[in-house]
A and B are shown apart, each in its own frame.
Chain A
Amino acid sequence: MKTHKIEHIKSLINKYYAGLSSKNEEKHIAKFLINNPDLKGFEAERAIFGYFYQHKQKKTYFINRYLKYSVAASIAIIMTTTLILKMSNQTRAYAWVNGKKISDIEVVKALAQESLSNVSVNADIIENTLAPFKDNNHKIQEQLSVFSDVELLTNDDEH
Chain B
Amino acid sequence: MNIKIQILTLLFILTGLGFAYAQSGTEDLHTDKVFTAYGKAKGSIRVELDLRDDEGYYYKSLVTENNQKAIILAKSCIEKDKKNAKRVKEVYSDGKPTTIYLSLNPKDGFYRFILFNDNGRKKMTLVYIESENKDILKIILKKQ
Contact = CB atoms under 8 A, between A and B. Distances in A.
Interface of A: 63, 66-67, 70-71, 73-75, 77-78, 81-82, 84-85, 89, 92-99, 108-109, 111-120, 122-123, 125-126, 129
A81 B46 contact: no
Nearest to B6: A70
B50 A115 contact: no
10 contacts: A71-B9, A71-B12, A93-B50, A98-B44, A111-B45, A112-B47, A118-B63, A122-B99, A123-B101, A123-B141
B42 interface: yes
Interface residues of B, number: 45
A109 B49 contact: yes
Given A77-B12, A99-B40, A115-B63, 10 more contacts: A70-B12, A92-B48, A95-B45, A95-B47, A96-B45, A96-B46, A97-B45, A116-B141, A123-B101, A126-B89
Given A116-B61, A119-B125, A122-B99, A95 B91 contact: no
If over half of A's interface residues share one DSSP class (helix, strand or loop), that class is named, otherwise mixed; here it is helix
A98 B40 CA distance: 6
A115 to B, nearest CB: 4
B101 to A, nearest CB: 8
B57 to A, nearest CB: 11
Counting from the closest, the 6 A-B pairs by CB-CB distance are A74-B12, A92-B50, A118-B125, A115-B61, A122-B99, A70-B9
Contacts of A117: 144
B119 interface: yes
Contacts, number: 120
B110 interface: no
Interface string B92-117: 00000011010000000000000111
B20 interface: yes
Interface in B33-77: 39-50, 53, 59, 61-63
A128 B89 CA distance: 13
A67 B49 CA distance: 40
Contacts of A93: 48-50
Interface string B115-128: 11101000101010
A41 B89 CA distance: 92
